[in-house]
Amino acid sequence: MGDGLFEAANKKLFEAGKLLGLDADLINTLSKPKNILTAELEVNGNSFPAFRIQHNDARGPFKGGIRFHPHVTEDEVKALAAWMTWKCSIAGLPYGGGKGGVSIDTKKLSEKELEQVSREYIRAFHKHLGPDKDIPAPDVATNPQVMAWMLDEYEKIEQRHAPGTFTGKPVELGGIAVRDSATGYGGFVVAKLLAERKNLKPSSITVAVQGFGNVGYHAARFMHKAGFRIVAVSDAKGAIHSNEGLQPEKVMQAKTTGGSVTAYPDAKHITNEDLLELGVDLLVPAALENQITEKNAHNINARFILELANGPVSPGGEKQLLADGKPVIPDVLANSGGVIASYLEWVQNNYGYYWEDEEARQKLESVIARAFNTVMEDSETDLRTAAYKIGVKRVANAALLRGNT
């Protein structure tokens, strides 16, 4: 994600604010992060820029993941924090939006160095975190183990147990088992609800999944189990296609042993560009941002696009898709399963009462289904604008009630 992403992220806010008739000063307030926190993390003589952006907390504590990636910038983290504000609001969660990042290549780190970076991040920002302040979670190149190190460091500094400060933790430290697959599961739930609304049988729906990491894999796995036909998947090293359908679990086995989905023997090798342009019913971008832009949107042949990555369709790309009659189910709705599961984990930590896995999954499905149906009720606009109108209105109302204008 490059510079200018935060400006792009605010475009939908300004559009929704205008449609809602909000005061210009209020919209301007909502467009700016409340706190921009920066630090330099020192590890083995090297310095790495680190960020924690707290965008808005009118509806509750800041909430959002921490990513470790060499291309992390302040602009990117600001955009991601803003998206979290709207995502949490659209889902009806009592959270605001935040995001964190460290500009670092984890592939060049030993496990000990990764632990050092994780702990240094908390030493830099611990005063600003807490179960009623700001609640981080895993994101790109971070995982439950990183959250475990961060939680441990936070609790050592604070000298108290505070498991609700972080979500996406290992189950042994108060995590929730469904968290690992939650974003993919939420995407599946949205796909299932879309099929029901369009009177389509899952067995008649062909699906191409771009990005076969955690999110794409679990989305494909749940869809396949429900009868959807997964005909193509991809990762950073290539893509595969089979009209007869792929078995996601076997593809993942091949990827694990062979290093890529292309190690799966019973499929045709295609390019990532080919996958995006397949004539499928449902295209699921679950990899990186800006995969569909004004440059290639004309070539997209899918009937529906389900965004499971953050920002995989650029504003210009979406404009063209909509003109071509190809609806986009936006990321702020479609990939909210992860933060919904994080909410359930946070509730359990705060109450000290833990649900069985299936009950937690049912609660997740109920929350995302309610959000989906609310967004779909707005037939006057595209789905992203409809979602933003809901999210922005809720945050604006909370800000007005507090007098934060």
- Give the separation between CA 248 and CA 265, rounded to whole angstroms: 13
Tokens coding 271 = 């390019």
304 pLDDT higher than 50: yes
Residues 6+ apart with CB under 8 A from 230: 207, 208, 209, 220, 223, 224, 245, 246, 247, 248
pTM (whole model) above 0.75? yes
Marked catalytic residue, from 99, 255, 326, 389: 99
**Of 66, 74, 224, nearest to 145 (Cα)?**
66
Beta-strand pair 268-270/238-241: antiparallel
Beta-strand pair 97-103/238-241: unpaired
Q: Average pLDDT over the chain, rounded to whole?
A: 95
106 pLDDT higher than 60: yes
- Give the separation between CA 93 and CA 167, rounded to whole angstroms: 14
- Give the separation between CA 139 and CA 3, rounded to whole angstroms: 20
Residues 6+ apart with CB under 8 A from 116: 43, 44
396 pLDDT higher than 60: yes
**39-93 tens-digit pLDDT:** 999 999 999 999 999 999 999 999 999 999 999 999 999 999 999 999 999 999 9
Q: Please name the amino acid found at residue 176.
A: I
Average pLDDT score over residue span 24-36? 97
pLDDT band at 1; cut points 50, 70, 90:
very low
Share of the chain above pLDDT 90, in %: 93
Domain boundaries, the chain: 35-175, 182-334
- Give the separation between CA 76 and CA 56, rounded to whole angstroms: 16
- Give the separation between CA 53 and CA 125, rounded to whole angstroms: 11
Tokens coding 38 = 């920066």
Tokens coding 46 = 């090297």
Tokens coding 239 = 């893509």
User: Sheet containing 134-138: which strands, arranged edge to edge?
Assistant: 35-43, 46-56, 97-103, 62-69, 134-138
Say whether 72 sits in a helix, a strand or coil.
Answer: coil
115 pLDDT higher than 60: yes
Tokens coding 40 = 């330099």
Q: Please name the amino acid found at residue 266.
A: D
Range with the lowest mean pLDDT among 61-70, 152-161, 208-217, 307-316? 307-316
* Dihedral of alpha carbons 16, 21, 23, 26, sign: negative
User: Per CATH, is 182-334 categorized as 3.40.50.720?
Assistant: yes
Is 237 a residue of the active site? no
2 pLDDT higher than 70: no
Domain 35-175: CATH superfamily, name plus number: Leucine Dehydrogenase, chain A, domain 1 (3.40.50.10860)
- Give the separation between CA 215 and CA 188, rounded to whole angstroms: 10
49, containing H or E segment: strand 46-56
Tell me if 35-175 shares its fold with 182-334: yes
